[in-house]
Structure 1
Amino acid sequence: MPQAVATLLNARWIVPVEPEQRVLEHHTIAIQDGRILAILPQAEAATRYQADTCLDLDKHVLIPGLINVHTHASMTLLRGLADDLPLMKWLQDHIWPVEARWVSRSFVRDGARLAMAEMLRGGTTCFNDMYMFPDVVATAAQECGIRACVGLIAFDFPTSYASHMDEYLTKGLQLHESLRADPLVRTALAPHAPYTVSASALERIGRLAEDLNLPIHIHVHETAAEVEQFQAKHGCRPLAQLEKLGLLSPRLLAVHMTQLEPAEIETLAHTGVHVAHCPESNLKLASGFCPSARLDAAGVNIGIGTDGAASNNDLDLFGEMHIAALLGKAVAGDPTALPAARVLRMATLNGARALGLADQIGSLEPGKAADIVAIDLCQPETEPVYHPISQLVYATSRHQVTDVWIAGQRVLANRELMTLDGPDLIQRARGWRKKIAIERRA
Structure 2
Amino acid sequence: MSTSLVRSRAIIAQALDRQRWQQIDAGAVLQEDGVIAAVGTYTDLRKRYPNTPVIGNGNEIMLPGFVNGHHHVGLTPVQLGSPDMPLELWFITRMVARNLNVYLDTLYSAFEMIASGITTVQHIHGWMPGTPNEVETKADQVIRAYEDIGMRVSYCYAVRDQNRLVYQADDAFVESLPKELQGPMQRWFARFKLGLDDAMGMFESMHARHNPKPRVKIQLAPANLHWCSDRALTALSQTSRKYKVPMHMHLLETAIQKEYASRRGGCTAVEYIDRFDMLGPHLTLGHGVWLSEKDVDRMAQAGACVCHNCSSNFRLRSGIAALNHFEAKGINTAIGLDEAGINDDRDMLQEMRLVLRAHRVPGIGDEVPTMAQVLRMATIGGARTTGFGEQIGTIAEGKAADLSLIDWEQISYPYLDVEMPLLDAVIQRAKTGGVRTVMCNGEVIYDNGRFTRVDRENALKTLHDELQHALSDDEVERRNLSKALLPHVKRFYTGYFDSAKHEPFYRQSSRI
**TM-score, normalised by the number of residues in structure 1:** 0.91
Q: 2:110 aligns with which of 95, 111, 116?
A: 116
Q: How far apart are the structure 2 equivalents of 1:81 and 1:377?
A: 38
Q: How far apart are the structure 2 equivalents of 1:142 and 1:5?
A: 18
Q: Secondary structure at the match of 2:325?
A: helix
Cα gap change, 1:277/1:177 in structure 2, threshold over 3 Å: closer, same or farther? same
Partner of residue 300, structure 1? 331
The residue identity in structure 2 corresponding to 1:8 is L
Q: How far apart are the structure 2 equivalents of 1:59 and 1:296?
A: 34
Partner of residue 107, structure 1? 101
Deviations 1:225-273 (A, max 9, x none): 2211332243222222111111111111100011121111100000111
| Structure 2 gaps, min length 5 | 129-137, 165-188, 481-512
Per-residue deviation, 1:84: 3.0
The answer to whether the Cα contact below 8 Å between 1:78 and 1:309 also exists between their aligned partners in 2 is no
Q: How far apart are the structure 1 equivalents of 2:412 and 2:273?
A: 45
Partner of residue 98, structure 1? 96
Q: Say what the alpha-carbon RMSD is for the aligned residues.
A: 2.5
Q: 2:447 aligns with which of 413, 416, 428?
A: 413
Partner of residue 63, structure 1? 63
The residue identity in structure 1 corresponding to 2:40 is L
User: Does residue 149 in structure 1 map to residue 154 in structure 2?
Assistant: yes
**How do residues 15-414 of structure 1 correspond to structure 2 at under 5 angstroms?**
15-19=12-16, 20-76=20-76, 79=79, 81-92=81-92, 94-95=93-94, 97-99=95-97, 102-103=98-99, 107-131=101-125, 132=128, 133-156=138-161, 162-309=193-340, 313-330=344-361, 334=365, 336-379=367-410, 383-384=415-416, 386-414=420-448
Partner of residue 493, structure 2? none
The residue identity in structure 2 corresponding to 1:275 is V
Q: Secondary structure at the match of 1:61?
A: strand
The residue identity in structure 2 corresponding to 1:128 is Q
The answer to whether the Cα contact below 8 Å between 1:36 and 1:367 also exists between their aligned partners in 2 is yes
The residue identity in structure 2 corresponding to 1:212 is Y
The answer to whether the Cα contact below 8 Å between 1:5 and 1:49 also exists between their aligned partners in 2 is no
Q: How far apart are the structure 2 equivalents of 1:35 and 1:335?
A: 37
The answer to whether the Cα contact below 8 Å between 1:125 and 1:147 also exists between their aligned partners in 2 is yes
Q: How far apart are the structure 2 equivalents of 1:351 and 1:25?
A: 25
Find runs of 4+ consecutive structure 1 residues off by over 6 angstroms. none
Deviates further, 72-81 or 249-258: 72-81
If you compute each CA radius of gyration, which structure gives the higher value, 1 or 2? 2
The residue identity in structure 2 corresponding to 1:117 is F
Q: How far apart are the structure 2 equivalents of 1:405 and 1:365?
A: 15
Per-residue deviation, 1:436: 7.7
May I ask how many residue pairs the two structures share in their alignment?
A: 433
Deviates further, 162-171 or 344-353: 162-171
The answer to whether the Cα contact below 8 Å between 2:69 and 2:307 also exists between their aligned partners in 1 is yes
User: Does residue 6 in structure 1 map to residue 37 in structure 2?
Assistant: no
Per-residue deviation, 1:152: 2.8
Deviations 1:52-98 (A, max 9, x none): 42134332100000001100034547636222311111112x11x23
Q: Secondary structure at the match of 1:148?
A: strand
Per-residue deviation, 1:179: 1.3
Deviations 1:196-245 (A, max 9, x none): 11121111110000100011111000011221133224322222211111
Q: Which protein is richer in strand relative to its size?
A: 1
The answer to whether the Cα contact below 8 Å between 2:56 and 2:405 also exists between their aligned partners in 1 is no
Deviates further, 250-259 or 303-312: 303-312
Identity %: 24
Q: How far apart are the structure 2 equivalents of 1:51 and 1:16?
A: 25
Per-residue deviation, 1:356: 4.6
Deviations 1:34-60 (A, max 9, x none): 111111122212210134421343321
Q: How far apart are the structure 1 equivalents of 2:90 and 2:465?
A: 23
Q: Secondary structure at the match of 2:3?
A: strand
| Structure 1 gaps, min length 5 | none
Q: How far apart are the structure 2 equivalents of 1:437 and 1:269?
A: 48
Q: Secondary structure at the match of 1:37?
A: strand
Cα gap change, 1:109/1:356 in structure 2, threshold over 3 Å: closer, same or farther? closer
Q: How far apart are the structure 2 equivalents of 1:233 and 1:394?
A: 44
The answer to whether the Cα contact below 8 Å between 1:66 and 1:317 also exists between their aligned partners in 2 is yes
Q: Secondary structure at the match of 1:152?
A: strand
The answer to whether the Cα contact below 8 Å between 1:8 and 1:51 also exists between their aligned partners in 2 is no
Q: How far apart are the structure 2 equivalents of 1:77 and 1:424?
A: 23
The residue identity in structure 2 corresponding to 1:384 is L
Cα gap change, 1:29/1:247 in structure 2, threshold over 3 Å: closer, same or farther? same
Per-residue deviation, 1:121: 1.0
The answer to whether the Cα contact below 8 Å between 1:294 and 1:332 also exists between their aligned partners in 2 is no
Per-residue deviation, 1:359: 2.7
The answer to whether the Cα contact below 8 Å between 1:61 and 1:388 also exists between their aligned partners in 2 is no
Q: Secondary structure at the match of 2:278?
A: coil
Q: How far apart are the structure 1 equivalents of 2:323 and 2:254?
A: 16
Q: Secondary structure at the match of 1:411?
A: strand
Per-residue deviation, 1:113: 1.1
The residue identity in structure 2 corresponding to 1:88 is E
The answer to whether the Cα contact below 8 Å between 2:258 and 2:268 also exists between their aligned partners in 1 is yes
